[in-house]
Structure 1
Amino acid sequence: MEKTKNNTLTKITGIFQYFAGALMVPIIILVVCGILMGFASPFVNYIFTKGTMAYSIAYFFMSIAQMIMSNLPLWFLVGLSVGIAKKNKGYAALAGVFMFMAFNLVISKNAELAGFTAQTVNVEHLVNDLGYLEADAIIYTKLFKSVLGVYTYDMSIFSSIICGLTAGMAMNKWGDIKLPNLFEFFQGPKFVILLIPLFAVVFGTLSYYLWPMADRALTALSVYISNSGLFGTFIYGVLNRALLPFGIHHLIANPLLYTDLGGTMIVDGIEYAGIRNIENALIGSPTATSCLVRNLTNGRLPQNFGAFPGAALAMYQAAKPENRKKVAAILVPAVFTAAFVGITEPIEFTILLASPALFYLVHVPLSGLGMVLAEACGVALQGFALVFMIPNLLQPQKMHAMALIWMIPLFFALYYFIFKWAIVKFDLKTPGRETNKEIRLNSKREYQESIGLKKADTKETKTEDVSALATAIIEAFGGETNIQTLENCFSRLRVTVKDTASVKEPEYWVDQLEAIGTMQNGNAYQIIYGPKVANLAAAVKEKLNMNNS
């Protein structure tokens, strides 16, 4: 019975990981939005003179960033459709857009049949003609918005999730369907397109009746999160790091970053919803005097710049003297990577494997504390790593970072002394503590289940270039026929396989295939490669002929 429960938990976790990975596909556009807004807005607002060529060019880029924020559901829709679909991804994107437009149209027509249109949905008409209480009328008017020219419910990215999941899952189920010769034109992915109107009518009509209740519940949750203040920030920081080993921490962050759950704010006469949208709006505003304080990323600054160097120094000093040069050779690049691009998995997984107690009882709560202190002290910066913070130099009047002068040394000291004490006291096997063991940063091995994989062989794998590494990765997953799906987020390959027994052990990935770490949930694997993962995933897909699927 216990094994059945564990298998069920593994499957459920795998589903969440798969969805979290798909949810990260559209994030690249939002990263572009932040970069464009951060660089272009100061030139438009303060530096260049209106009417000059330089001003016009900067204004074009800033307008692109504003367009991205104004059409957030569209980017999530396409990204989710492509991310969920395991095949025929181009058709999945087309089906997703078709579903989205039809879905919103059905909601609009349901409202129209009930007498609610752009002309009638106003407080005066609802109160005087339909007998609504004024408070209820105000709430009802906020339900609606024009989305890509259709007057429908303002569901933010929740409509994208419904439509993207529907299109992607339908493509997975019916994308290869065969039909009789008479209907041969509609077989395969075209059959899914044929089904979209049916899905739109069903889900659109259900949403018309159910969304007002969901909206009220989400509003209440949003108010609770907003009113919870620093306690809510602490809970977010704790959950974000605690869920990292399972690869589903994005599910906690994205609703706050891109929906009303993260709050709303009127900036220059326009209401923005979601922490990331509000932050970008403030960065682009000529009147704002500060970036967003509660952006749920500034708390990572004392971690990336203070905590991890402190932990690394503790691990270095705790290593055997003869191993310290080798330990420094792997820890210094890891610390630099955390500070420069915000990729922290190498150090975090090393901590986790050496001592889960140290990770969950020290690192996780201190991560929450970092979020709280940054918010309480009014730290307001764009980005949490050096590469994302360059635009701060262009608008220093909006940045508030003086508290970091003492916060970063504080976290350095906390991590250094606590980690040094714990490593020595409990003889934790951090890098360099064992005499006859190769010195490297550890991977995240199977964290949820014990795994029974075949022993890795000793054959050396050539990884001189991306193409060779891509070939080796395919072989390590048991060959092309064993790979079912392959996607990537910012730092990880996300792969599902048919037979886990054909997949190489975690040590092989780290020792032979240049991986930073590995994770597994049932048939779902995450191989951590850091910033180079996008190029690597493209090379693997090219060899698997997935780019044209």
Structure 2
Amino acid sequence: MGILAYMQRIGRSLMVPVAVLPAAAILIGIGNWINGMPWGSGSIVATFLTQSGGAIIGNMAILFAIGVAYGMSKDKDGAAALSGLVGFLIITTLLSTKSYALFNGIDIEQAGWEKLVPLAYDKINNQFIGILVGVISAEIYNRFNSVELHKTLAFFSGKRLVPIIVSIVMLLVSFILYFIWPMVFSILTSFGEQIKDLGSAGAGIYGFFNRLLIPVGLHHALNSVFWFDVAGINDIGNFLQPEKSLAAGTATIGITGRYQAGFFPIMMFGLPGAALAMYHTAKKGNKDKTASIMLAASFAAFFTGITEPLEFAFMFVAPVLYLIHAILTGISLFIAATMQWISGFAFSAGLIDMLLQSGNPLAVHWYMLILQGLVFFVVYYVVFRFVIVKFNLKTPGREDDDSADTTVEETQQKATTSDLSTLAQQYLAIIGGKENLTNIDSCITRLRLSVKDTDLIDEQAAKALGAMAVIKLGKTGVQIVVGQQAEKIANHMKELA
């Protein structure tokens, strides 16, 4: 497996712990809303809700260890998740400030003993360590989950053996980290500080690369640096716990949330503007079909912030448009950060998250993001329409006649795809059958498959089934963008394989 494909596996697995964030957003959002009402100030109910949501945010590091271990395990087994938990507890205990003091003969009873311990050990409980532990635990699980021991130790065979091996390995990892963690921590925090020092420009640069990495699925890894406590930024964690982060000095009104705010104008307004441009430039005979696709995708982007169905509609057929999209995203984050129009999210930058965070004390002039969004709607529409017509780009509805025509056979084939089991069977045949398949996984909108040979995959047949894109990653990796039923299709494929 190539380094790119491996990084994609890690990026995909990060979605497992991130998926719990909407629960935290709902609890904290409603709690902040109640607390902001004249009748709700100091409400026990508001405190109950915000503290419940804070419990999720405050333990993201351990959720990353568990979620990444589970997400990268080959059969998504609970034993891998348990191993991630075991590994995380061992490392964070052995490398805690008290453990360091014990190892170095520092008397923890004396006043100010904490100052004698390097700061890195006080920050060992972070998402970077969680990801590291999760990756190691998953690799150990994938290697040893079927090992059979001598019959006298048969009880500890197979999956029961994995947490034991992880425990031993984490002792070695802790020993290594004892010496190198301060250096790693310094590098990570230095990177975070450099981005912070760039201010609004840093937010814009992040926004540009966030979109640019989506085609290869590495944007999740990039997001973890800015949104979570990997490099000391922790934009989402600090934003969703305003009282705690403001009191601790880890949040600043008008600053915290700058790596999230600029996405709202793009996802809620900009991309729907691009969709309208693609509809207006579609050929006359294809307008109805194009309208149905663009309307559904725009609805998802506006309300939930899920943009992949729209982005993949032009990402590969018109890469120049996608580059423009990435640049405009960077500009949007730069503007929002500069003007201090701030809001945040736990899932994505859609209307639902915007409304949930409207009562957050760190949400400054959040309503101005709507005005900015209306401007970006016009900008996207004008720019996309001009570029599409000027360069005769083959965006949806503008395909050549021979590829745009739908035969009776294709129509009948598409009619059967409402049955997900049948659809999974068809996708299985398209990728060369189960003989060519080595691993099945999924993300929000993509089938993420490992195969023996990507040359056996029929891209045109996949698109005839409704796939928005087929992304081949070397000779053994492929992603098929199928929409929000990806997980269900993947589950049916696992049953068939």
**What TM-score, normalized by structure 1, do the two folds share?**
0.78
> Aligned-pair distance for 1:275?
0.4
Corresponding position of 2:356: 391
What is residue 469 of structure 1 aligned with on the other side?
Answer: 423
* Percent identical: 29
Q: Which residue of 2 aligns with 1:158?
A: 128
Write the distance in 1 (CA, Å) between the matches of 2:362 and 2:127: 32
Is the alpha carbon distance of 1:435 and 1:159 closer, same or farther for their aligned partners in structure 2, counting shifts above 3 Å?
Answer: closer
Task: Name the CA distance, whole Å, in 2 between partners of 1:460 and 1:87.
Answer: 30
Amino acid at match of 1:345: E
> 374, 382, 387: which is aligned to 1:417?
382
Q: Mean alpha-carbon deviation: is it higher for 387-396 or for 420-429?
A: 387-396
Secondary structure (helix, strand or coil) at the match of 2:241 reads helix
Q: Is 1:378 aligned with 2:378?
A: no
Q: Which residue of 2 aligns with 1:528?
A: 481
Partner of 1:436: 401
Q: Secondary structure at 1:261's aligned position in 2?
A: coil
Report how far residue 366 of structure 1 moved.
Answer: 1.3
Q: Which consecutive unaligned segments of at least 5 residues does structure 2 have? A: none
**Shift in Å, 1:536:** 4.1
In structure 2, which of residues 91, 94, 105 is the aligned counterpart of residue 115 of structure 1?
A: 105
In structure 1, C-alpha distance between the alignment counterparts of 2:102 and 2:245, rounded to whole Å: 37
Q: Residue 392 of structure 1 contacts residue 399 of structure 1 at CA under 8 Å; is this kept in 2?
A: no
Q: Deviations over 1:141-198 (max 9, x none)?
A: 53344xxxxxxx5241122122211110011112222344444333322332332232
Matched residue type, 1:19: I
> Does 2:236 correspond to 1:276?
yes
Deviation at 1:343, TM superposition (A): 2.0
Offset, 1:45: 5.8
Alpha-carbon separation, structure 1, partners of 2:239 and 2:173: 33
Q: Which deviations, in whole Å up to 9, do the C-alpha atoms of 1:96-148 show, x marking residues without a partner? A: 2222222233335464121246545x6x347xxxxxxxxxx47x453344xxx
In structure 1, distance between residues paired with 2:354 and 2:392: 38
For the structure 1 residues 329 and 46, does the alpha-carbon distance in structure 2 shift closer, same or farther, using more than 3 Å as the test?
closer
- Structure 2: how far apart are the matches of 1:36 and 1:420? 41
* Paired AA for residue 114 in structure 1: N
Q: 2:273 aligns with which of 296, 310, 314?
A: 310
Equivalent residue for 1:339, pick from 298, 302, 313: 302
Matched-pair contact (CA < 8 Å) for 2:34–2:41: no
| Compared CA separation, residues 426 and 96, structure 1 to 2 (3 A) | same
Q: Which of the numbers 80, 88, 92 marks the counterpart of 2:68?
A: 80
Aligned with residue 162 of structure 2, among 188, 192, 195: 192
Deviations 1:422-477 (A, max 9, x none): 2222221122334514559xxxxxxxxxxxxxxx9x96672223444344444444
Moved more, 73-82 or 351-360: 351-360
Unmatched runs of 5 consecutive residues or more in structure 1 = 1-9, 127-136, 146-152, 264-273, 441-455
- Measure how far apart 1:219 and its partner are: 2.3
- Choose the corresponding residue for 1:298, options 221, 239, 261: 261
Matched to 1:236, the amino acid is: Y
**Structure 2: distance between partners of 1:426 and 1:482:** 39
Q: Partner residue of 1:250?
A: 220
User: Per-residue displacement from partner, 1:399-440 (whole Å, max 9, x unpaired)?
Assistant: 513533542233233222322222222221122334514559
SS in 2 for 1:353: coil
Specify the alignment match of 2:50 in structure 1.
62
* Aligned mates of 1:459, 1:498 — CA distance in 2: 27
Q: Please, what TM-score do these two structures have when normalized by structure 2?
A: 0.86
Number of aligned residue pairs: give it. Answer: 484
* Alpha-carbon distance change, 352 to 162 in structure 1, aligned in 2, over 3 angstroms: closer
Give the Cα separation in 2 of the matches to 1:49 and 1:347. Answer: 40
Work out the CA distance in 1 between the residues paired with 2:44 and 2:100.
Answer: 43
Q: Residue type of the partner of 2:180?
A: L
The 3-state SS of whatever aligns with 1:531 is coil
**Conserved 8 A contact 1:38-1:284:** no
Query: Counterparts of 1:159 and 1:462 in 2: how far apart (Å)?
Result: 46
Amino acid at match of 1:497: V
1:169 aligned onto 2:129: no
What amino acid sits opposite 2:75 in the alignment? K
Q: Which residue of 1 aligns with 2:461?
A: 508
Counterpart Cα distance in 2 of 1:406 and 1:460 = 40
Contact 2:236–2:257 (8 Å) recurs in 1: no
**Deviation string for 1:340-386 (max 9, x for gaps)?**
222222332233323323322x2221111011011112212244112
Deviates more, 1:30-39 or 1:40-49: 40-49
Cα distance in 2 for residues equivalent to 1:30 and 1:297: 14
- Between the aligned partners of 2:37 and 2:252, the Cα distance in structure 1 is 13
Q: What is the alpha-carbon distance in structure 2 between the residues aligned to residue 528 and residue 350 of structure 1?
A: 10
Q: Aligned AA for 1:200?
A: M
Shift of 1:48: 5.8
- 1:220 match: secondary structure: helix
Contact 1:291–1:381 (CA under 8 A) maintained in structure 2: no
> Residue 284 of structure 2 corresponds to which residue in structure 1?
321
Partner Cα distance (1:212, 1:379) in 2 = 36
2:33 to 39, 42, 50: 42
Amino acid at match of 1:69: I
Pair 1:465–1:36, CA change in 2 (3 A):
farther
On the 8 A contact 1:38/1:283 being kept in 2, the answer is no
Following the alignment from structure 1 to structure 2, what is the Cα–Cα distance between the partners of residues 379 and 437?
48
SS in 2 for 1:430: coil
Equivalent AA in structure 1 for residue 469 of structure 2: G
Residue aligning to 1:142 = 119
Contact 2:148 2:154 in 1 (8 A): yes
Aligned to 2:12: 21
CA 88–380 in structure 1, closer or farther in 2 if over 3 Å, else same: closer
1:491, distance to aligned residue in structure 2 (A):
2.5
- 2:68 aligned partner, one-letter code: L
| Residues 298 and 261 of structure 1: CA distance in aligned 2, closer, same or farther (over 3 Å) | same
Three-state SS of the structure 2 residue aligned to 1:297 is: helix
Secondary structure of 1:412's counterpart equals helix
Task: Answer yes or no: is the 8 Å Cα contact 2:261–2:343 preserved in 1.
Answer: yes
Match status 1:11 vs 2:16? no
- Contact kept? 1:482, 1:498, Cα under 8 Å: yes
Query: Counterpart of 2:85 in structure 1: which amino acid?
Result: V
Tell me, what secondary structure is at the counterpart of 2:95?
helix
Q: Quote the residue 2:82 is aligned against.
A: 94
